Amino acid sequence: MGRAILAAIATAAAVTGLGACGVSGASGGLPGSLRAAYFAPTRAPSARALANAALTALKSARSVRIAGGVIEEGKRLHVDVGFIKPESLSGTLSGSFEGTQAALRVIVAGGKAYVLLDKAFFSALAKAHGVPASACSRLCGKYISAPAPDFGHFGLKDLTNSMFRERYKIRPGVTVTSVNGQPAYRVSYGHGTYLYIARNGTHYPLEVAKPGRGMLTFTQWNNVSPITAPPASRVISLPDEIG
């Protein structure tokens, strides 16, 4: 797999965690303090209980869609990706790749990763590697394939580990609020990140935000459409001229 594409994908993949929220001491099931909250609705659960419940919900989820924009290493990137356990995903990563703004269509399924080589992305690679523009006629519109591990860590499990890092500390206090009209709790972390968690039903994460750096939203819990590999007729190995 070409280093240019790998670098671009790895950078974009890293933002799905937002380098963000960290909790420790999480365990299976809802913490006792959170269960007690159901019988005292006027009193919000503790911040740690909520964060632990959000981690449990994320670990147990079958699928989720994550979308939003973040700044990573000085670059503004946008993600809109559906994840399905154990390691499938499908969506778009947008940002500056090879010095050109592009939106990369990415699919990971069956242990392989696929990136759509559309005209915009081809132009960026062609400019960087001196590839003739005429090559687009045979390459554009195809998916470049490689083993999924070559693209970095994309799966829902890796996302969970990235979002909840033990070195970050939860601040005491819970704010009752809403996210897009949905009742929510907000907890905060010592490094300036806010995690919004659904108040009603399963306490799924709804949004993670860090002022000045970006925001990601979480939707379609357990309702992401099935993800399959592109048809074989549209899949190619990376040509040597842009490797």
Give CA–CA dist 86/9, Å, rounded. 19
pLDDT (0 to 100) of residue 65: 93
User: 3-state class of 194 per DSSP?
Assistant: strand
pLDDT per 10-residue tile (average), the chain, 243 residues: 42 41 37 39 79 89 89 79 89 76 85 86 77 84 81 64 63 92 91 90 91 87 95 79 50
Domains, the chain, ordered by start: 3-229 (2.50.20.20)
Give CA–CA dist 66/156, Å, rounded. 11
pLDDT (0 to 100) of residue 239: 55
CB burial of 137-170 (b: ≥16 within 10 Å; e: otherwise) equals eebeebbbbbebeebbbbbbebbeebbbbeebeb
User: 3-state class of 204 per DSSP?
Assistant: coil
pLDDT (0 to 100) of residue 218: 92
Q: Is the bond preceding 86 in cis, omega lying within 30 degrees of 0?
A: yes
pLDDT (0 to 100) of residue 200: 93
pLDDT (0 to 100) of residue 101: 73
pLDDT (0 to 100) of residue 9: 44
pLDDT (0 to 100) of residue 36: 38
Contact of 115 with 144, CB cutoff 8 Å: yes
pLDDT (0 to 100) of residue 31: 41
